[in-house]
Chains A and B, each alone.
Chain A
Amino acid sequence: MMSARAVGLGPALRRAAFSQNLARNQVALRTVLFKRAVQTQSLPPAASEEILNQQRLKRPSSPHFTIYQPQITWLGSIVNRVTGGALSALLYGFSIAYLVAPGTFDSAHIVEFVAGLPEYLKYSGKAILALPFAFHSWNGLRHLSWDMGKFLSVKGAYGTAYAVLGATAVSTVALVLM
């Protein structure tokens, strides 16, 4: 009985054992035991595309990058884009602001505003500007060296990545103290 339950025949056998008619009627017993659980449906060949599209909608997206171990190769690539985007956003923002309101965003007002800030804000502001500029500049040189066919190996990618990080740290400090 245990093995019958293990293969999922428990309810069918129990029904067959307790039913007087089924126990004697071989045809009825077979019907109970081998009843198909899967319902089939006849479809024209043209319906295949519809089924395919329904399956495509339920497809999971490709593995997201959060499943990967953080590696300096792809982290550096993301940081390169983020720092470049941030610096460009500043350039665009300032230029459009000057175009819209030249009287408010002229150099005299900006310099006057920055000069009135407390020292810690000046230093932190300079660090916030210097860090992305330094990283994007050095990493830009790294990219240009790749474009020339240099350091195109895993070792080269890692070595230049650490070189860029070191140069970024040094030049950020130097720029903040300028």
Chain B
Amino acid sequence: MSSSILLRSAFKSAAGRNALRSTLQVRHAASSSTQYVPGGPIYKGTVNDPTTFPPPSKTHGSYHWAFERLLSAALVPLTGAAFATSGSAYPILDGILGVSLVMHSHIGFDSMIVDYLHPRKFPVLGPLMTWTLRTATVATLVGVYQFNTNDIGLTELIAKVWTA
């Protein structure tokens, strides 16, 4: 009802038109100042506002996908080689496995964090877990390198434990 009154007054005079414009502006300001609440089913804006998308990036898209596939496919002959021979005969096998398996694991863990602890829903825990994973991955890479260098290596360890 108030809007119809405003409309009527808007047609009457320039002052009324200004009043209408200021009403619309106030309304717009109110909708943009409404706080977005992370962690709840509240989205930015009204039902008429489009959802936001991350900027397109090949690094997070096709390149990332192709890298994941190449890594997974590379693990097939590497796993076969680990059954056929051992890291003692070919230390490079333990070296490659120690990097590729950790990368494969990191991508898998990262997908779980993105799926279950997305920053949109978990603004604190999500990034915290992402950085915890990054720290753990670096520590794992160093640990595997140390084990492959100073001890018997991954494949030899599995073979010995299996027949222990």
Contacts and interface: CB of A to CB of B under 8 A. Distances in A.
Interface of A: 44-46, 48-50, 52-53, 56-57, 59, 61, 81, 84-85, 87-88, 91-92, 94-99, 102, 106-107, 110-111, 114-115, 122, 126, 137, 140-141, 143-144, 147, 178
Q: Give the interface SS of chain A, mostly helix, strand, loop or mixed.
A: helix
27 contacts: A44-B2, A45-B3, A45-B27, A52-B46, A53-B42, A56-B42, A59-B41, A85-B109, A87-B105, A92-B102, A92-B137, A95-B141, A96-B143, A98-B147, A98-B151, A99-B139, A99-B142, A102-B146, A107-B151, A107-B152, A110-B157, A110-B161, A111-B157, A111-B161, A122-B164, A137-B79, A178-B162
Given A96-B139, A106-B151, A52 B47 contact: yes
Contact of A144 (B43, B72, B164): B72
Contact of B150 (A52, A95, A102): A102
Nearest to A137: B79
Contact of A56 (B40, B73, B75, B112): B40
Interface residues of B, number: 47
A153 to B, nearest CB: 20
A168 to B, nearest CB: 15
Contact of A115 (B3, B40, B164): B164
Interface of B: 2-3, 26-27, 30-31, 34, 37, 40-43, 46-47, 69, 72-73, 75-76, 79, 101-102, 104-105, 108-109, 112, 136-137, 139-144, 146-147, 150-152, 156-157, 160-164
